[in-house]
Amino acid sequence: MNPERAADLWGRLLGGNALSPSEEQELADALSADAELRSQLLENEEFDGLLGALGRADREAEAFMAAFGRHLAAERSESGFIRKLEHRIKEEEVPREKRPPTRRRHRHPSRTRGPSLAIFVASAVLLGLIGIVVLLSSGGAKTPPEARLGKDRRAEEQSLRKERLEAIAREERELSQAKPADVAKPVELQEEERRRKLDRLAEERRRIEEEMRRAVDEARKNQPQETEPRRSPVPPPRQEPEAPPPRPATTETTTRVAVATLGYVEGDVVLVALGKKTAAKTGEPILAGDGLEVAGRGGVAVVRYADGTRLELREGTAIEAILGGAGGKRLSLIRGALHPDVAKQPPHEPMVILTPHAEVKVLGTTLRIVVDLTGTGSTRLDVDEGKVRLTRTSDGKAADVTSGHYAVAATGLEMTPKPMARVPLPFDRTCPVIYTNNSNQDCYTDEYLMALASAGDIRLRGIIVCTMDALDQTAADRAALVAKARRSGMRNIPDPVLGPGKPFVKPPSGKIEETRPWGSPAGRLIVAEARKATPRKPLVVVSGGPPAAVADAYLLDPSIADRVVVASHEGRTENDVMDVDPWGVYVVLERFRVVLFGPVTQTAAASVPQARSAKLPEGELRQAMIEKGQPTDANGMGAIAVLRADYCLRARRKSVVGWLPDGALGLTDDANGRLLVITEADQAVATEEFWRALEKPAAWGQPR
């Protein structure tokens, strides 16, 4: 309808002229559909027609109330509505004889009721209108349109914020699992771009969460207060009001975002979410507030964060309230042993681990926390690297625990850091490493050391192939394995070099220095690297086969002896050594510091189940590990000891006493001996350390 037509109909209605039913409907539809037109026409004489209609027959009462409802729907102020209505009511109270004449619509006699009935209907309608006005003006149960609109708008904004938080969580998961896609762009640059995206998402998440908190606080602040209704001058008969029904309890729903992922699950592991326990699955996201329990014997759970931080739980361990985001990572260790490998954290956002007895703050290191609930209870903290703050909750006493030390938080005990290693070893993870072995088909030491080198955990200076038979084939096999590792994403891996391919010959004089060297590439490599080392930070040669390359290096340059330590799987028992190169072994045992792991080969080697190997990043190296099918890494004890000072539990010092009838070298106890024979080691530590290295994304060239 055009404005002129609407104005004409409206003017006729206010002037008292009769409108046909079709015209009334036409005007009503126009007012209902056009808010601007409604506002204009209702500006000055909004209620004239309504109040004039009070005298009409009850036939029109229903139409009148419908028209009034449409007027109330107009977006007008409540105060203006009340003033105009009160003004018109006062005009209606003026005696009829003093009012100016108005034009009335003539009705057919058959449609007209008695005057008393018309007045009664009109009065009832008017009283109803006044009651509505009083309720509106007193701030009763009705909510103003503006308030309703504001409430709806706030609810819609909160809904949009929740949807965005869920989208951020999905984007963070995708980024944390993404692999470098652009082969032409350096992996380091792609990693930096990925971290910047994660930082931007984290900042956006913090901002949205703060907006949601402010919106909730504002809604509570603006919640209307109960007010006493305005009393009527003539109170109605007193009635006891019915007690209002109890208001249902309301719960604020919040979006729980993913803070970590279950990187690996083995055995009976339970995820606890909102009080409900379900079987945990590899790859499942961990949402803020979730917990984790490893119940069954032999169970293992690995938790991974987007920044590369890794937690390992074993049987009997339970954690809860795993949190992330603004303020840093937080969790509670309820019982058992937790083995975190924490990536470098922002200076003001340390990772905080709470136990029943202590608080542990970590900025980036490898450590272990053991909660013992027997007796008065205690929390032990072991630190492999870096510095960690341990605070006892009972009295607030704190201690800084540094690399190679531990401290215990318990009632009545001094919380003084002490050296962690039960068996002092002549090397640590900061020493350069060379690896020598024969076959790579019966162990996983190659894979473990390459993973460490790729992630930057050690300085791997060389890989040596040393065997007394089939040297060329063994060298080809190892070169193929290195190539598979590189194609699988590993970096910083040196090319294999050849060691002596035949045993040393004992000189007629029996003097070591008169032995002829073979001058192998491996011997020359050891000499070159040893000259860069020092007695305090020696070159560590991890040996899983004949140590002939080390003997060759000594015969080439005897001055390197105090700069090299050999960590060998040699040792038939703790009292003898048997090798295919007897004289070469003799040279090494007599001239170098040697740590022998032979006695613990069968009891303390890392466990390598095929099922867990199958969970490693897809590639040729993973397939090679699966195809080996070996249950343990029988040559890797020396490599584990380089990284884990807590691996070796007991040892005895020995020295060589001579040859036994069967050709083995006999050993005897000697408090000042150069040989350290490990008689007991912790297989759980070896297994944990092995998988920490292999499951680390950086080992495979993946972003953290």
pLDDT single digits (tens) 185-223: 666 667 667 777 877 777 787 778 777 777 766 766 665
Number of domains forming the structure of the chain: 4
Residue 187 confidence (pLDDT)? 63
Residue 186 confidence (pLDDT)? 65
Please give the average per-residue pLDDT across 8-36, as a whole number. 70
Residues 332 and 405 in one domain: yes
| Backbone region of residue 215 per phi and psi (left: phi > 0; alpha: psi in -120 to 50; beta: other values) | alpha
Residues 458 and 566 in one domain: yes
**Which is more confidently placed, 106 or 454?**
454
List all residues 6 or more positions away from 124 whose beta carbon is below 8 Å from its beta carbon.
none
**Which is more confidently placed, 382 or 112?**
382
621: nearest Cα among 440, 429, 432:
440
Residue 247 confidence (pLDDT)? 46
Q: DSSP assignment of 531-555, as one string?
A: TT--SSSPEEEEESS--HHHHHHHH
Quote the crossing angle between the two packed helices 471-487 and 445-455, to the nearest 10°.
40
Please give the average per-residue pLDDT across 111-140, as a whole number. 44
Residue 117 confidence (pLDDT) above 70: no
Residues 187 and 133 in one domain: no
Instruction: Judge whether 250 lies within some domain.
Output: no
Cα–Cα dist 342/568, whole Å = 30
Residues 414 and 436 in one domain: no
Average pLDDT, the chain: 79
Domain of residue 455, residue span: 432-700
Residue 102 corresponds to which amino acid?
A: T
* DSSP strand pairing (564-568 vs 539-543): parallel
Report pLDDT digits (tens) over 282-296: 989 999 889 999 987
703: nearest Cα among 151, 70, 64, 174:
174
Q: Confidence band (pLDDT; 50, 70, 90) for 256?
A: confident
Identify whether the C-beta of residue 591 lies closer than 8 Å to the C-beta of residue 558. Answer: yes
Residue 84 confidence (pLDDT) above 70: no
- The values of phi and psi at residue 566, to 5°, are -105, 125
Report pLDDT digits (tens) over 342-382: 888 888 888 999 999 999 998 877 788 888 887 778 898 88
Residue 121 confidence (pLDDT)? 41
Q: Confidence band (pLDDT; 50, 70, 90) for 605?
A: very high
Instruction: Judge whether 203 lies within some domain.
Output: yes
Residue 250 confidence (pLDDT) above 80: no
Residue 300 confidence (pLDDT) above 90: no
- The values of phi and psi at residue 105, to 5°, are -80, 125
Identify whether the C-beta of residue 297 lies closer than 8 Å to the C-beta of residue 315. Answer: yes
351: nearest Cα among 325, 382, 315:
325
Residues 609 and 683 in one domain: yes
Cα–Cα dist 355/371, whole Å = 7
* DSSP strand pairing (459-465 vs 330-341): unpaired
Report pLDDT digits (tens) over 381-414: 888 888 899 999 888 899 999 888 888 998 878 8
* DSSP strand pairing (378-383 vs 405-409): antiparallel
**Which is more confidently placed, 39 or 594?**
594
Please give the average per-residue pLDDT across 104-131, as a whole number. 44
Cα–Cα dist 639/689, whole Å = 10
Pick the range with the lowest mean pLDDT from 92-106, 505-519, 686-700.
Answer: 92-106
Q: Confidence band (pLDDT; 50, 70, 90) for 298?
A: confident
Residues 407 and 437 in one domain: no
Identify whether the C-beta of residue 505 lies closer than 8 Å to the C-beta of residue 583. Answer: yes
Please give the average per-residue pLDDT across 168-190, as a whole number. 68
386: nearest Cα among 357, 425, 429:
429
Cα–Cα dist 126/120, whole Å = 10
Cα–Cα dist 461/479, whole Å = 16
Cα–Cα dist 318/334, whole Å = 6
CATH code for the domain of 271 = 2.60.120.1440
Cα–Cα dist 686/537, whole Å = 23
Instruction: Judge whether 152 lies within some domain.
Output: no
Residue 77 confidence (pLDDT) above 60: no
DSSP 8-class letter at 143? P
pTM, entire model: 0.56
Instruction: Judge whether 384 lies within some domain.
Output: yes
Residue 118 confidence (pLDDT) above 50: no
436: nearest Cα among 444, 446, 427, 428:
446
Residue 14 confidence (pLDDT)? 61
Residues 174 and 69 in one domain: no
Range among 386-390, 432-436, 568-572 with highest mean pLDDT value: 432-436
Residues 530 and 655 in one domain: yes
Final residue of a structural domain among 358, 393, 419:
419
Residues 640 and 572 in one domain: yes
Residues 414 and 475 in one domain: no
Quote the crossing angle between the two packed helices 187-221 and 145-177, to the nearest 10°.
160
Compute the radius of gyration of the chain from its Cα atoms.
43
Residue 48 confidence (pLDDT) above 50: no
Instruction: Judge whether 247 lies within some domain.
Output: no
Residue with tokens 């005057």: 115
Instruction: Judge whether 524 lies within some domain.
Output: yes
Q: Confidence band (pLDDT; 50, 70, 90) for 481?
A: very high
Residues 462 and 605 in one domain: yes
Instruction: Judge whether 19 lies within some domain.
Output: yes
Residue 510 confidence (pLDDT) above 90: yes
Instruction: Judge whether 551 lies within some domain.
Output: yes
Give the Å distances, CA to CA, from 401 to 283, 425, 686. Answer: 33, 20, 23
CATH code for the domain of 536 = 3.90.245.10
Please give the average per-residue pLDDT across 666-671, as a whole number. 92
Tokens of 649: 């539990």
Residues 575 and 505 in one domain: yes
Residue 572 confidence (pLDDT)? 77
Residue 52 confidence (pLDDT) above 50: no
